[in-house]
Structure 1
């Protein structure tokens, strides 16, 4: 899943807009009905970044994911949350 998120974000200009930002932690929530929600987790001192802009870029790019089955607890689908570190690769011009 982390690789798929990285591939979707490689298309965008996050690494160009914020070259000092090399990793974003994304909280992924998988709901019992198999829907997913992505929330970027910023450090407390993240005033240097336009968090609203980064959040909107993430939501625009992280669509059309393959279906993910929710976790099961005693045979019942439950909500699951985890944090994925997503590495932003800076593209070098040759």
Structure 2
């Protein structure tokens, strides 16, 4: 009988650790969740209204880039650019589209020859892209997010 009482007392004192529940803090859950994110990719790329919403993500991205390229080509074709030497350059437009769909050119990178031959290139590119159709922002986990990317523009003048 003493052994049974001693065993029950021992179990009572030891079992408190088994009954105790660990607290889970919301910050710990958030930290773990943030570690699983791929911050360099979005669920849906920015898109124009003209791009069909039934397209998959890769085709939406292509549609967005092609539409942007077509608008840029159409507007730049209206300008007469005269140069003294042949230009074959890829200009990098660093672009931001915020969570409201606002389009901003952050920076334009081109080589020195292009800058010397076409000093107004920056303003022409900015003016060509200042009146775009409505842009729907990128989506990450059902939230509209800001995206930044580099858009290459080939300048070829003979």
TM-score (norm 2): 0.46
Please identify which structure carries the higher strand content.
Answer: 1
CA RMSD of aligned residues (A): 2.7
Does the 8 Å contact 1:8/1:61 carry over to 2? yes
Unaligned ranges ≥5, structure 1: none
Larger RCO, structures 1/2 (Cα 8 Å, 6+ apart): 1
Divergent runs of 4+, >4 A: none
Between Structure 1 and Structure 2, which shows a larger proportion of helix residues?
2
Residue 65 of structure 1: how far off its partner (Å): 0.5
Relative distance call for 1:49 and 1:89 in structure 2 (3 A) is closer
* Matched length: 88
Tell me which of 126, 129, 132 is aligned to 1:59. 126
Structure number with greater Rg is 2
Q: Is 1:29 aligned with 2:106?
A: no
| Runs of 5+ unmatched residues, structure 2 | 1-67
TM norm structure 1: 0.70
